[in-house]
Each structure stands twice: as structure tokens, then as C-alpha cells.
Structure 1
Amino acid sequence: MIQTSARLLQLLSLLQVRREWTGPALAERMGVTERTVRRDIEKLRNLGYPIHASPGIAGGYQLGAGAQLPPLLLDDNEALAVALGLNSVAAGPVAGIGEASVRALTKLEQVLPSRLRSRFAMLKGAVTALPSNAASVDPQQLTVLSSAIADRRQVSFDYVTSEGESSSRLVEPYRLVDTGRRWYLVAWDVGREDWRTFRADRIASLPSERKRYEPRPLPAEDLAAYVQQSITRSPYRFDVVVRLHAPLAEVAAVVGPHLASLTAESPTSTILRAGWDNLAAPVAQLAALDMDFEIIEPVEFTSFALRLSRRLKAAAGNVTDAAEDTLPRQ
């Protein structure tokens, strides 16, 4: 059985490095009969590999594309290239594929030979990305957390809050969520006996795996929406809801998911929900969008906006509504 498995891997590797092989050429390269090659080709097909065969003297075998992705064989340089690419995406995630890149990097690092691990560490240290607005996260932290989530293992780490307070946490990790600018971990905090959302860039130590845990009922069916609720509304004093007179796509281009939750009300209007500790901040940010909007709630926000509008009107002096149209716009 071991010889058969090794021969199948050798056959698969040969099919991946050349566009087409004849039966006799494969048999000669592998040191087996053409009949054995035909049997092994059929076994690979049963495993999900789409291998096409063309008849005749000039015919042969070709590895093609199928409906599902079968396992791939990579040589040393290919494995390093894929690992570096995944590491780059994990550290500065591309929207929509960041979480998948971490899972793939976790799987790949588990099987990298020792000779490649040192090369990968050296190359990773030599690559520097241009600065961006995304919070910097060590990809190794994400891969450890991803592995713990898959294995249902508790992890311990040091965590620093937004106020700068440091503490040691023991948690049961359930999901990593990528918002485009930051990574968040949804976990059950064992010490506090409650669900918590942790910013990955505030984890101050490499997470250490502990014992296995039994899964708990999740705090929400959609954990991505749960995280957005946690970071944009729940922690704040005021829960602000406004109607922006602009399409959802236009608003989403300037308001990220880490700032507010957006819902299309109509083709030309969008509902924005976000939390703030003071009401001056949302007024300034909404005004900076240069979009017409209506305040829906809370009442305190409406009152604050009215007082501010009177103050701004007084500051403008004796400018009339007609003269307003002649003033330069930003």
C-alpha cells in the first residue's frame, strides 16, 4: 500500500510538471508497466483528479481543470512562493479573502519541511510592505488562533485594552473576523464567563494552546455581524441612526465596516448605524461626507444638531440664503 501511494504521488507530480505525457513515457520514467500506469491513472481519477486521455500513437495523458480542487503537489520554490503570498495577505488582508488566507497558511506551515521553514522565516523577515491604514498583526498569531479554532483548544495570551490596561486571558476561540482594517477574535472568556471580542493587534503575546473544550452555543448566528455590532455600537454611550441620501455603494466607499453598519433603504438612500461616546464626533464625520442626511435617533443627537446649527449660523454672520450659493465650495 505504501509503495502504491508513493507511486501515485510520483505520477501526480509528473502530470503537474508537463502538459502531456504518453503512456510509454510515464511507464519508463516511473519504472513500471503501461498497465500499471493505466491503473494508477484510474485511481487518481477516483480521488477527484481530472485526467484527460487522448487515443492514438500521438495521444497521452493530461491533467485538466475539474469542478472541485484536488490536493496539489508543490516543489520547494512553489511552496515558499505560496507561503509568502499568504503571509502577505494575512498581515495586510485583502477584503473577502483574509480569513481564508490564514486557514491556508496554517495548513501549509504545518507540512513545510524543516529545510523550508528556515528559508520561509528568512524571506518573511526580508519582505517589508508599504505602510497602510490597516492595524499591524503578526500572521503567526493568526495562524495559532486559526489552528486552535479548528482543534477546539483553549488559548492563553496577554491582552492590552484601549485604555492601556494589560491582563492575561484564557479563552475558547471560535472565529477570526477580518473587517478590512483590523482582525477580531470572537471567543468565550473563561475567567469572565462571557463572550468577548478581542482586537488581534492588541494581543501582546503569542497565543499558547491549552486543553480542548466543548463547543458552546454561539452568541449570534452571524458572527461577522456580531463583531460589527460589538465594535461600532455596543461599547458606546449613544447609538446613532441616520439616513444618508446616497446609494449604499457610494456610502460604503467612504465609511468602512469598522466605523458603522450600513443598510440600503432604497436605491438612493442608506441607513447608517454607529455608536459614539460624544455627539460632536458624529456631526463632524457626517458633515465631512458631504452628503445630505437626516437624523433618525437618538433625540439627544437631534437636539445637539439643532443647537450646533444655530451656533454655526450665528458664526456665519449676515450671509443670506441667496448669497450662500455664491460662496466657494470644498
Structure 2
Amino acid sequence: MSTTSARLLALLSLLQVRRDWPGAALAERLQVSPRTVRRDVDRLRELGYPIAAIKGPDGGYRLGAGAELPPLLFDDGQAVALAVALQTASATGAAIAEDAARALATVRQVMPARLRHRIDALRVATVADPADRPGPQVDSRVLAALSAAVRAREVLRFDYAAPGVSDDDPAGPAPRKVEPHHLLAWAGRWYLVAWDLDRSAWRIFRADRLTPRTPTGPRFAPREVPGGDASAFVVARFRGADESGAWPCRGEVILDLPAAVVAGYTRDGGVEEAGPDRCRLVLGSWSWPSLAAAFGTFDAAVEVVGPAELTEAFAVLARRFAAASSIDAD
């Protein structure tokens, strides 16, 4: 490769990783004069790269988005990362597995032999939690429309098929009008976090159940999601917590187990020592019986500290378990 060709590739690589480059900074990085940088920029423009000149005291350059995608330049690490991302695309819940496979094949064809060997040897598989149900695939065009509305802060109208409503229901999907704030994936499904304008409340919509309408509505001033974190808000809603992220039921017990042992089996709970081989455990759940059952998973004596609802939940479970244990086996 000639010196000029190598320099052009280096210049293109620099322009791709940073939005704006002062001319003097490019000349310093390439170890050439500003005049040579100007000539190299002109050469890249002739090859179809939309490079804009930036006005100002120092001047500079910016690689813009063109009508056609120009050749891209990846270093070895970027190429491998791209291959991993494309191989795991089917786990995102978006219906893009076929497009990802074609994209990977296209990228592989233009890679040097050393990288092709690395990618061919790279086989990435996603492992799902056995407790998780496989999420439905979402049309990539729907995800693109939702993402665009979130980014533009524009009111979104869509038809929403509520659970249990068949496609041939005469009422059809329910029309909704919302301020879209976040689009995120959780447990294999895509969700839209939005402020429902008709109900004046925060709502979480499954992306696979909605059909966007066009055009979008007027722009809106963004609101703050309860708690300030959209991901935490979604997780809290699906585990039965309120908008603050706190469990609706929270209780405290004393277990006849060392704190070090109990701490290894709790994620959201608080554990502290309460004497020799005893500990105080605070947990939360979406109902009092489920909270009592969670405490009961520890193979140890349980002393309820409070509240009274937790004590009653243990009594309810005791009656249920006693009834179940009295059933004669066939």
C-alpha cells in the first residue's frame, strides 16, 4: 500500500471516531502539513465521502451522513465486536435475525483473512433463564418508529391490542395517545414507557402489541420517570412494587441461621447479625403470602418481628399446608 493510500485510510479512520476534527489536530496526528490534509480531504470527497468543512478560527472537518453508505473502516477489535453483536441479535426480541445474518456475511466478505479466521472460529450463543418465557418478536419497523418518536419527543398515536383480546374482536385494538419517553428491553420483551395523555398516568406498553399510527403529534416537554430511572421503573412495576420502586409488602423476621449464610441467598433483602448463629432479615414482595413463603424457603426457625400482616400470612399458609398434607395419597 502506498504512503498516500495508507494516509487516506488513517484520515478516514480518525474522521469516523470523532464528530469534529480541527485541521491542525488532524495534521498533527497524521504527521503531515495542513495543506496535505486539505488535499487528502479532497481525495476522499472524490471517492464519495461527504466531508464538510467547519468554519472557525482553526477550521476543521466533519464526516457527514451521505445519501449512500460509504465504505467503513474497522480496527480488529471493532470487527470482532460487530460479529458478536450480529450473532446475538436474535436475543434482542427484535425481528432482525435474518437481516443480522446477511449483514454478518457482508461484513465477513470484506475483512482481511486474519479477521475472517477469527470470526469463523467465534461462535456465540445466548443462554436464556429456564424460567423466562421466550419473548415475541417485534417488527424492526415498529421499533424504529417508537425509537424515532422517543428521540424527537413527539406525541405518539397507536393501536394497542390488550391481552386476551382476539384479532377478530369487533371492537378492535384500543387507540392510545401518549408521550413516549423510553424504549427498552427486559426479560426478552420490548417495552415502551410513556405518559398516557388520556389517563394522565405512566404506562408500560408491550411493543409487540402496538401498531403505530402516522403522523406523530406535536412535540412535548419531557417528564421525569418516577424514580428517575426507566429500567428500575419497569422492573419495579413487574415485580408488583409501586412507582417509587418499593415493594408493597415488606416484613422483618429473625432466622436461626448465621447472617453470612442468609446473605448468600438474598438479593433485595437486608441481613444483619442478631446474635450467635441468628440474623435479622428484611424482605419485600408483591403480597403478604408470597413474602411469608419467601421467608419459609430458609430451612430454619422463623420469629416474626412485624408487621401484623406478615404474622397473619404465616397463619394462612400454615392452614393451607396443613390441609395439603392431610390429603391421602392414591
Q: Name the TM-score, length of structure 1 as normaliser.
A: 0.48
Q: Name the TM-score, length of structure 2 as normaliser.
A: 0.48
